[in-house]
Amino acid sequence: MHDINDDQDQTDADQVNIGQPIDSTEVDHDETSPELNSATSSDDENTDEAIDDITTKEGDEVLAAEDAEVAKAFEPPIKTGFRHKIKVFLQDLWADKRKRWATIVGLVVIVLALITIPMSRYFFLNLAGVRSSASLTVLDNSTQLPLKNVQVSLAGQTSKTNDSGLVKLTHLRLGRAQLSINKPAFATQKQTVTVGWGSNPLGSFPVQPVGAQYTFVIKDWLSGQPIQKAEASSGSADAQSDKNGKIVLTVESGGNATTLPVTITADTYRNQQLQLDLTTKTAQTVNMVPARKEVFISNRSGKDDVYKVDVDGKNEQLVLAGTGNEVPASLALVPHLTDEVAALVSTRDNVHDSDGFLLSTLTLIDLSDDSTISVAQSEQIQIVGWVGSQLVYVQIAAGASAANPKRFQLIAYDYKTGDKTALDSANSFNDVLLASDAIYYAPSSTSDNDPNTGLYKIDADGSNKRTLLSQEVWNIFRVSYDSFDLSLLQTWYHYNLGDVLPTKLTTAPASPVNRLYIDSPDGKHSLWVDQRDGKGVLIDYDTTKKTDATLVSQGGLSYPVRWLTNSTLVYRIHTDQETADYALNINGGQPRKISDVFNAAGLNLWYYY
């Protein structure tokens, strides 16, 4: 049995120990129980392991964070732009099978719609900003000739036809659009057209005249030949001539006017002003004269004056009044082939050198405003010709002695820039001529071994100088348009233009005749003058067909000869009865006298000083 006294004793013992200090010496750790020691050791080991785990985990987390920061520094920037979003969207779309097939089917339907339904194609192209262009020609339905200044509207764009009746419109929306064609005195035409992708040439659109119509027949005053593409205009009304020179002008009807001012124009011709009688429909013939004027010298005032005049003798004007100092033998006048400028050689300035010799002045005249400029002064000046804007001439240096190797100077003057180019010099030139825009010249020798003698070719700008012969050439005979005969005293050579060198002839030509060819502006014709049966014969050489045609044979016919247009020319008649310039058209008709003139030189054969 359990003794209650024993429990009580134990309790008393515990109570006695409460609050009492324990003497450490009384505790013997070695005597502690094994179970207690084992539990304590196990708890210590667990604590160490936990601490090691925490330390290791924290180290790993730190290293991982550091690695993450390093990796982040090398990562590409995150793409958030529109293109990236589209890419992601397409990737997602393609990854979803149902969406992928739905997209493919939708695209096929759209493509088929664009192919088979033009309006849908134009809708999407317009939506994408695609624009097109169109062109068409408007014709007068009564003549089938083009109409200019016709207003054409299409797809919101408006423009007018040009001289050929053609109009081009750009920046047009694609698809069906309303075309509208409007011109006074003509019925308005409206039509629906389809503007496709591209240039859209729509063809010709004849419009019906509804106004009053009047007819003109346009002819060349000299030849009587019809002039094609002449134009009659009055206000907003205009019309062109056909190949027969016929113009049908349509004007608005109504009003009380009985006359109408009309202007007739044609390329290279003088404008004609006339009053159209509205009370009659009879065709009216209009003769046109060249717009370029003849330039000549006249001494009718007692001085040598320079004039310009139309070939029908109208609109004469004084260009440059003479001074009274002109020596007739020194006078020369050479107009440019196409430009409104002329070169005059005269002693009008009355200038003398130190030896008292009267000097000639080379004066350039601007025929558009009659202004002048002095180019050179010399003892003597001879004009060789025009090459483009270059005036080629030879002058004797003032005061130079006869033995001076540079006494004669070959010069080109550019009237547009004012530049002078010294092409060559010599004690004198035996011969100088211009052929096919190249200059051929033969310096004379000053000694038996003069290295400067020979035959040379050079361009007007001083380039491409070539030696054709190294012996002194006394005469250059242009025996045809394309060839020369060269006289070297008893020896003769023949030279074809374009050859490298002349060819020596075994015998002398029977009787070489030097020809001066004057080329037309377009180079298709060239004029030269021959003497036959006591008359001057004006001959037209066709450079394409290589054939000659006699234009006129007349007593006293001689140089100078010049072109006004590609078909109209002027030649000189000098006899005891008259000295006058005549106009002629190579296409037919009779010569017409322009005016009495003084027989000044022009482009002439080279003469010896």
Give the containing element (helix H, strand E) for 307: strand 305-309
* Three-class DSSP category at 195: strand
Residue 54: band (very low, low, confident or very high) from pLDDT cuts 50, 70, 90: low
Least confident of 37-51, 261-275, 398-412: 37-51
Residue found under tokens 């350039």:
364
What is the structure's pLDDT at 6?
46
Mean pLDDT of 319-335: 96
Mean pLDDT, range 34-46, rounded to an integer: 49
- Residue 4, phi then psi, degrees to nearest 5: -60, -25
Helix and strand numbers (H, E) in the chain are: 5, 42
Range in 37-46, 168-177, 193-202, 389-398 with the lowest mean pLDDT: 37-46
Percent of the chain whose pLDDT exceeds 90: 70
Amino acid at 114: L
Of 153-162, 316-325, 505-514, the one with minimum mean pLDDT is: 505-514
Answer whether 0.85 is exceeded by the pTM.
Answer: no
* pLDDT mean over 507-535: 94
Nearest to 359 by CA among 342, 336, 375, 370: 375
Neighbours of 462 (CB within 10 A): 13
- pLDDT for 467 equals 96
Mean pLDDT of 347-364: 93
User: Regarding beta strands 201-207 and 132-140, do their DSSP bridges make them parallel or antiparallel, or are they unpaired?
Assistant: parallel
Average pLDDT over residues 147-169: 95
SS3 (DSSP) at 298: strand
Peptide bond into 206 cis (omega under 30): no
Q: What is the mean pLDDT of the chain?
A: 86
Predicted confidence at residue 16, as pLDDT, reads 38
Cβ neighbours of residue 568 closer than 8 Å, sequence gap 6 or more: 222, 290, 292, 311, 583, 584, 585, 586
What does the pLDDT read at residue 520?
97
**For the chain, how are helix, strand and coil distributed in percent, rounded to 5?**
20, 40, 40
- Domains of the chain, CATH where assigned: 82-116 (no CATH), 132-207 (2.60.40.10), 212-288 (2.60.40.1120)
Of the pLDDT bands very low, low, confident and very high (cuts 50, 70, 90), residue 15 is very low
pLDDT digits (tens, 9 = 90+) for 359-369: 999 999 999 99
pLDDT at 309 over 80: yes
pLDDT at 56: 58
Where does the pLDDT of residue 421 fall: very low under 50, low under 70, confident under 90, or very high at 90 and above? very high
Higher pLDDT, 34 or 544: 544
What are the structure tokens assigned to 94, written together?
A: 């393609």
Residue 151's H or E segment, with its range, is strand 151-154
Query: pLDDT tens digit string along 70-118?
Result: 555 555 555 556 676 777 776 776 677 776 777 776 666 555 555 555 5
With H, G, I as helix, E, B as strand and everything else as coil, classify residue 109.
helix
Which residue has better confidence, 606 or 76? 606
Model confidence at 155, in pLDDT bands (50, 70, 90)?
A: very high
Dihedral of CA 4/5/6/7: which sign?
A: positive
Higher pLDDT, 186 or 54: 186
Mean pLDDT of 425-445: 93
Place of tokens 């002058």: 395
First to last CA, the chain: 180
- Bridge-partner residues for 554, per DSSP? 536
Residue type, 9: D
pLDDT for residue 27: 38
Alpha-carbon distance of 436 to 378, in angstroms, equals 28
- pLDDT at position 111 is 57
In tens, the pLDDT along 548-581 reads: 999 999 999 999 999 999 999 999 999 999 999 9
Reported confidence tier of residue 588, pLDDT bands at 50, 70, 90: very high
For residue 399, give the 3-state DSSP assignment.
coil
Residue 17's H or E segment, with its range, is: helix 4-17
What's the confidence (pLDDT) of residue 452?
A: 81
The pLDDT value recorded for residue 603 is: 92
| Residue 60 pLDDT level (bands cut at 50, 70, 90) | low
One-letter amino acid at 358 equals L
241 backbone φψ class: left, alpha, beta (φ>0; ψ -120 to 50): beta
Whether omega for the bond prior to residue 405 falls within 30 degrees of 0, making it cis, is no
* Residue 284 pLDDT exceeds 80: yes
